[in-house]
Structures are given as structure tokens and as C-alpha cells.
Structure 1
Amino acid sequence: MDFNMMQCIYHEEILQVFKCWKELGLSEELKLARNQPPKWYIWSVTMVTNPTMSRQRIEITKPISLVYFVDDIFDVYGTLDELILFTKAINRWEVTDKLPSYMKMCFKVIHDTTHEISNIVYQEFGWNPIDHLKKAKQSGLLLRIHQRAEEYLKNGIISSGIPMVLTNLFFLLGYGESTGTTDIESIISSVAAILRFLDDLGTAEDEGQEGNDGAYMEYYMKEQQGWSLSDGRQHVLDKVSKEWKLLNKHCLSPTTIPTSFKTACLNVARLVPMMYAYNDNHRLPVLEEYVKFMFSNIKEDLMW
């Protein structure tokens, strides 16, 4: 009965997510952009498990979709000159006529979504997190030009999208500036590192992308002498294990982190392996079966 009840809730929410994504108009502006609302929504379902928090799940799906869209811009579509202009526009929080039309539209969606979420938080909880949300989006846009592994990792953690999404979620859950920040930044960093490492291991050719933004293992192996591919892979897995220990410490030890936010971070890290378990056809068979099970009465051609 509980499952049937939640499935009905999820069905209503995913239809709303489809509607919101269509209204944004990004997939029509750039036809080749990944158009996978169910995949983005699975992140939201995993983060926010409370049945009463439909609005939070729907709203957090919006910045998640922007992570994928901006990732496509940086990895596939944007030229270096365009990416420099786009990054400057976000940092200044104002659009420029020099941007191509799809970047202008993307900036508008980022701008409008940020203010929309800020208004929701203000209306429900009485404070406006706009400055924090703007900063999260600005810091998440980094040109991916690296020389050393640690430099790549530091920037890759920020540009993974995890800090931006979890910052949005933190405020949507009703937590404010008075909540301690050091522990929160640390747990977010561990989740982002887990995603970055596993993303780099499994998706160099993710869904037709060329992998031109490099990978941690690639940079690290260049700095070593005589390392095999298996040595590099084991090194990355050891780094993942270290981050999981830090994440478990945050979840099992007394900290200033609110319990619901701890759970959200933990669940995101748990979901990462399934999100990057690509097969030889660049598909996610485990995820696809899971989504079909959850949304069995939605047409398959709407799903992927």
C-alpha cells in the first residue's frame, strides 16, 4: 500500500517535471541537448524521500537539469571563446549580446530558476538565500583547463554540480544561515568527490560526448612513472573509499548537519554508482529498469 501510494505521488510529480522542462524551452533551443527528465527526477526522489515534500522534489529537479545542460555546453557545444563569455556572464550575473542564443536562453533559465527558488524559501521560511544561490551557481562554472591532477580534482568537485544542487536543497528544506557551515561544506565536498571520481572512471564517452574535459586518473597517471591502467583505476577507487569514510563519519558522528540533509547527501552518494554504470552501448540498463518499474504507466518514449 505504501508503495502504491508513493508511486501515485511520483507519477504526478514526474508529469509536473515534464511540464516544467518543456516550459523552459531549452531542449527546443538546442536539439541535441540531453533530454532526460526522469533521470534528473530520480536524483530528486533519492534526495528528498518525505512523501509530503512534492514541491521540494519538483523544484530541486530544475537545477539538476541545468547541471546536465551546462555540462553539455562545456563538453560538446560551446567554443572556448563562447565559454569564456558565458562564464563571465554568470559571474557578473548579467547577459551580454555577444553570447549565442542558446547560451542567452540558458542564462535566463539559470537566473529565473535561482530567483524562483529564493522566493519559495522566502515565502515558506522567511529568509532570502539569493546571494548564496547565486554564489553556488557562479562558483560551479569553471573552464576545464588543467595541468595537474589535484588542480583538476579541486575544480572538478566544484563543477560537478553537487555543491550547487545541494546548496539549493539545503535552503528548500528550510535551513538557514544560522546552521553551521563547516561540516555542511565538508559533507557536500565528499559527495561531490565520489561523483567526480566515479564519473571519470565510467563515462569518458558518456552518451556520445568526446571526453575532452579530461579525467582525474588521466592527469594523475601522467604525473606517475610506470603506472599501468589498473594501477590508476585502483588509485581512484582508493580515493572513493577515503571519501566514503569521511561521509560515514559525518553521518554517524554528532555534527551540526541537520539529519534530513545528512540523509540527502548519503543517498546521493549511494545513487552515484547506478547513475554511472554505463554498458558498451552507453546506456544505463539498471537505471532504466528501475525507472520503468517506478513509472510503469507512462509511455516509454517519454522516458529517454
Structure 2
Amino acid sequence: MCLCDDVKGMLSLYEASYLGFEGKDFLDEVKAFTTKHLKALKGSTINSTLAKKVVHSLEVPFHWRSPKLEARWYIDIYEGENSMVPMLLDLAKLNYNIDQATYTSEIQNLARWWIGMGMVHERQFGLAREGLTQLFALITVIDDIYDIYGTLEELELFTNVVESFGVNPPMLSNLGVNPLALSNPLNWLHAGYTPTLKEYLENAVVSIGGPFVLVSAYLLTAGKITKEALDYIESMPSLIYNSSMLTRLANDLGTSSRIGDNPKSIQCYMHEKGVSEEAARDHINYPFLDEPFISSAPNLGRQSQCIYQYGDGHGIPDQETKDSIKSLFIEPIPLGKI
């Protein structure tokens, strides 16, 4: 109980509890203990900067957050701390603004590619990052075709045409390029069938596109592509499966209330167990090679948490999503005198 007087230490212990593996009961107890006491601090006399950190962490822990957005948030917090080092703060701002300028340049190249009016950078890392963004854009278009715009007859024709190409190697088909993964929910919807949660998730972990994106991340960033690595990826390891599942569940939690859409995990669980939406959400709300691929997998889950934290930040961007985009790509941090 002596820890309760050390708010900074309690907050650090709370954050550390999210790094435990499944089955580590001790860290689960630590998480429950620190959460209870941090929530009890509401209205206490701790300094305002520390209070902001507590509220921020209780909302979403550091390990689940987008690293770059977290850096932007912390720069503002650090500026108000008594122990702030001015030169360190200026260097952090300068580093952030340099990265932002790089992102902005890549977005401009992507926009030119999207309308067929330009070429991407030939720098290896920039090419890899922009290539991934292009894949995301294409996956989004195909996903919207299946989810929103296409009739059953049109999508059956589209699926048959894609399958007739016969150019996908088995590995990519197994990991999400197969359009049947996207057409299954549509068939369920038109047949009036609500799948069990297990049926839904077996299909959804692929249809979200996570496995395909992560495989592409490996192919675009690996210094040397090996047969052993490809065999490992094809087995759908937990690194890929769990990140894709987190992406799917974050998407479902943010978009399940969208009218006219396919049944999501929330509705499947409500129908299967006969429970309320609140109970289904509580059940679905998830706990959570070489670089840079290893970081790509958890970052996919973090970005999904960020996009769908306040609702459908992808399909119907809220103010929080718009503010995040502005801070990442448009609005540099004002610099002091360096």
C-alpha cells in the first residue's frame, strides 16, 4: 500500500502490466491494483501534468498507442514539466518536423500515383513505405466494393473474374488475396444467415487484409528474402494472426453500429449467445524475423486502435481522427530559438 503515495511509480507499474504474456496472473493482479488506485486519484491534489498522464494512460495504455502520435502528445506534456530541458525539447520538435516533412512528401507522391500522374521515390525505404500505402489504398477500394457498393450479382462476377486470373501463388491466396474471404460475409447477409462468432472470425481475420499487408511488408522491407521465412509466414504464425485479429476487432468495435453493413463480431456474438450489445462489446474488447517487419505487426494493431478508438475513424472520420492527421502531416510544431 505504500506504493499508493507514489503516483509516478504507480503509473509506470500500470503501464508495465500491459507487457505481460497471457497466463501471467501476477501482472493481471498488478493491472487491476494499479487501475483501481489510479482511478481513485480523480479530484486529488497531484500536479496537473501528472494528472494528464494518468487520464491519458487510463484511456489507452502506451503499448497500444500509435508511437508517432504518442510522441507528439508527449512533446506538449514535456514542455510543461518543471524538469524540462529546453535544448532536448527543441531537438525533439525538430526531429518530429523533419519526419513530418518526409511523410508529407510521400503523401504527395502517393496522390500523384493514385491519379496516375507521377512516379514514387526510388529510395528503398521510401519506396517500401509508399508501396505499403498503395496496397492499403487498393485493399480499401476492394473492401468498399464488397461492403457497400456492389450487388450480390455484380460481386459474384467480380470474384469470378479475379479468380480467373490465376496468378496468385498459393501463399498469398492463403493469406488474404483470395476474394472469397470478402464475398463470404456478403453471401451470409443475402442469405439472412448470422454466423457463429467462430465462423465469422475464421473468415474475418483474413478478410480484414492484415495478413496480406504484413506479408507485403516483409517482401518490401526484407534485406534478403529467404525460403525459411516465406515458409514460416505461410503457416500464419501468431505474429501475423494476432495482429490481424486485433485489427479486425478494433474495426468491428468502431463500425458495428453502421446501418446496412454486414454482420460484425458484435452482432454474431449477440445472436449466438442472446446477450445485449454492451455484453457483446465487453466480450469482444481484446486484451492486445527481422526488423522492420517485427515492428510492422504490432503497429498494425496500434493503428487500428487509433483509427477506431472513437468510432469509425476510417469511414466516417471524427474530429479526433482529423486532428491526428493534421498533427502528423500538416501542422509542424512551432520551434523556439535553438
SS of aligned partner of 2:269: helix
Is the CA contact 1:204–1:211 (under 8 Å) kept in the aligned structure 2? Answer: no
Give the share of equivalent positions with the same residue, in percent.
26
1: CA distance between counterparts of 2:311 and 2:242?
26
Instruction: Report whether the alignment pairs 1:160 with 2:208.
Output: yes
CA contact (8 A) 2:255 2:312 kept: no
Match status 1:275 vs 2:315:
no
Residue pair 1:83, 1:143 contacting (<8 A) in 2 also: no
Distance 2:107 2:234 in 1: 34
* 1:95-244 correspondence to structure 2 within 5 Å: 132-133=171-172, 136-138=176-178, 140-144=181-185, 145=188, 147-174=195-222, 175-179=225-229, 180-181=232-233, 185-204=237-256, 210-225=259-274, 227-237=275-285, 240-241=286-287, 244=288
Distance 1:203 1:141, change over 3 A: closer
**C-alpha deviation, 1:176, in angstroms:** 3.4
Q: Distance in 2 between matches of 1:196 and 1:90?
A: 24
3-state SS in 1 of match to 2:227 = coil
Q: Output one character per residue of 1:92-115: Cα deviation in whole Å (capped at 9) or x when no partner.
A: 226xxxxxxxxxxxxxxxx8xx9x
Q: What is the rounded CA distance, in whole Å, between the counterparts of 1:60 and 1:275 in structure 2? A: 17
- For the residues of structure 1 that align with 2:311 and 2:246, how far apart are their CA atoms? 20
One-letter amino acid of the structure 2 residue matched with residue 177 of structure 1: K
Cα displacement string for residues 75-123 of structure 1 (whole angstroms, at most 9, x for unaligned residues): 11111111112112222226xxxxxxxxxxxxxxxx8xx9xxxxxxxxx
Which one has a bigger Cα radius of gyration? 2
* Counterpart residue number, 1:294: 328
- Give 5+ residue unaligned stretches, structure 1: 25-50, 95-110, 115-129, 245-256, 299-304
User: Quick one: which amino acid aligns to residue 137 of structure 1?
Assistant: V
The answer (yes or no) to whether the contact 1:198–1:272 under 8 Å persists in 2 is: yes
- Any gaps of 5 or more consecutive residues in structure 2? 1-93, 118-122, 189-193, 333-338
Distance 1:189 1:271 in 2: 16
Is this contact kept in 2: 1:74–1:83, CA < 8 A?
Answer: yes
* Aligned AA (2:297): C
Work out the number of aligned pairs and report it: 219
Which residue of 1 is the match for residue 27 of structure 2? none
Structure 1 partner of 2:140: 68
Contact 1:191 1:269 in 2 (8 A): yes
Residue 63 of structure 1 contacts residue 165 of structure 1 at CA under 8 Å; is this kept in 2?
yes
Question: What's 2:78 paired with?
Answer: none
Normalising by structure 1, what TM-score?
Answer: 0.64
Structure 2 vs 1, CA of residues 92 and 161 (structure 1 numbering), >3 Å: closer, same or farther? same
Give the whole-Å Cα distance in 1 for the aligned partners of 2:235 and 2:290: 10
Distance, in Å, in 1 between the alignment partners of 2:142 and 2:312 is 25
Please report how far the alpha carbon of residue 186 of structure 1 lies from its aligned counterpart in structure 2 after TM superposition: 2.1
